Amino acid sequence: MLNLKISKRSFLKAAGAGFAASLLPRGAEALDRTEAVFASAFMGENESYGVALVSEAGREIARLALPDRGHDVTRDPQSTRAVVFARRPGTFALVFDTATGQPVKLIEAVEDRHFFGHGAFSANGQILYVAENDFDNYQGMIGVYDVGMDYAKVGEFPAHGMDTHDIQMIEGGRYLAIANGGIKQHPDLGRAKLNLDHMEPSLVIIDLEHGQLVEKHDLPMDLRQLSTRHMDIDGKGRVWFGCQFEGERNRRPQLLGHFRRGEDMRFIEMPEPILDGFDNYIGSVTVNRQAGLVAVSSPRGGQWAAFDVETGKLAYEEKIPGVCGLATEKSLFVRSTENGWFDKEKSAVSWDNHVTRLG
């Protein structure tokens, strides 16, 4: 069995003296001038990993070291804390204080579980839900962590699918939306995909009050190789989801759709040149509720685009090599790339797939 555990000793070594973030030379100035602060995981020199606080102008404010590659960041709605999750099949999640840049808690996955890079806080901030893999049984699980008990794991429940990826609170936090990518994986085999000929992607809604399955939307048989990955919520409560196609490269299925409790999933019809530009891969989905736009990106295709949430019509499209991270801001969306660009600022890091607005 591959040992995926991250020891606190190795994390302390990675984090450096004091186990704390250091304010970067331009950090104080960037923080003073910015109107919005974002967080994103990154890879630095010599395959070092971290999470950074970044201004809307793309200037780093502070950074924390991570023991391995991070993926997404989720914010506690009731405090200044946030959590960065390890990319699959990693086993750590770091809680940190966004106001001070200080680490708070290193969470480690329990035996026979690993994380999928995503999580969500309950509306009251008391519970952290984490997408996990019961890899011996090829079953997605949602881990339940009690914030008041120093983020101790106090339970879990089935995600009703495999390859559980993004999870999002909906309808005021009563329900949890889950994107099950449908790909069978085991950490002994790294990131290998074991069932591309018989995938089982689905979108699920769970009633958190009772822990019960409310709805499960299986993709139709002709789209079973369309892995549901990332989601965001628009102003009317629709769950927008982006997909990655694992079938023949010359096929071009639609990649962006939406659903809502009590309604079937629907895909929007992208113009053919735009769909081609995504190269069968959506890496991030972000909704700007004020503008009524949903944006999606593809590092594989080097393209991002935004669509009207009411009509599905194309509103913006731009070619940017390696673009993936998206978040809302006053000019609609900030973008980050694996080539080091964060909006219009270039740095010597490779930004990971997601950007989270903290305030």
| % pLDDT > 90, the chain | 79
Residues with Cβ within 8 Å of 73's Cβ and at least 6 positions away in sequence, in order, are 39, 40, 41, 51, 82, 83, 84, 85, 354, 356
- pLDDT, position 34: 53
Residues 196, 200: Cα–Cα separation, whole Å: 9
Residues 82, 204: Cα–Cα separation, whole Å: 25
Q: Kindly report the CATH number that applies to the domain delimited by 8-357.
A: 2.130.10.10
- Phi, psi angles (nearest 5°) of residue 244: -130, 125
Residues 208, 206: Cα–Cα separation, whole Å: 6
Residues with Cβ within 8 Å of 207's Cβ and at least 6 positions away in sequence, in order, are 174, 175, 213, 214
- pLDDT, position 47: 86
> C-alpha distances in angstroms, 177 versus 85, 104, 286?
18, 27, 15
Q: Is 38 exposed, middle or buried (0-12, 13-18, 19+ CB in 10 A)?
A: buried
Q: State the average pLDDT for the chain.
A: 90
Please give the residue that has the higher pLDDT: either 27 or 248: 248
> What are the helix (H) ranges across the chain?
8-15, 27-33, 272-278
- pLDDT, position 72: 98
Domain residue spans of the chain: 8-357
> What are the helix (H) ranges across 202-311?
272-278
Check if the beta carbon of residue 21 is closer than 8 Å to that of residue 66.
Answer: no
Beta strands in 78-200 (DSSP E): 81-86, 92-97, 103-108, 114-121, 127-134, 139-146, 152-158, 164-170, 175-180
Whole-model pTM: value is 0.90
Is pLDDT above 90 for 17? no
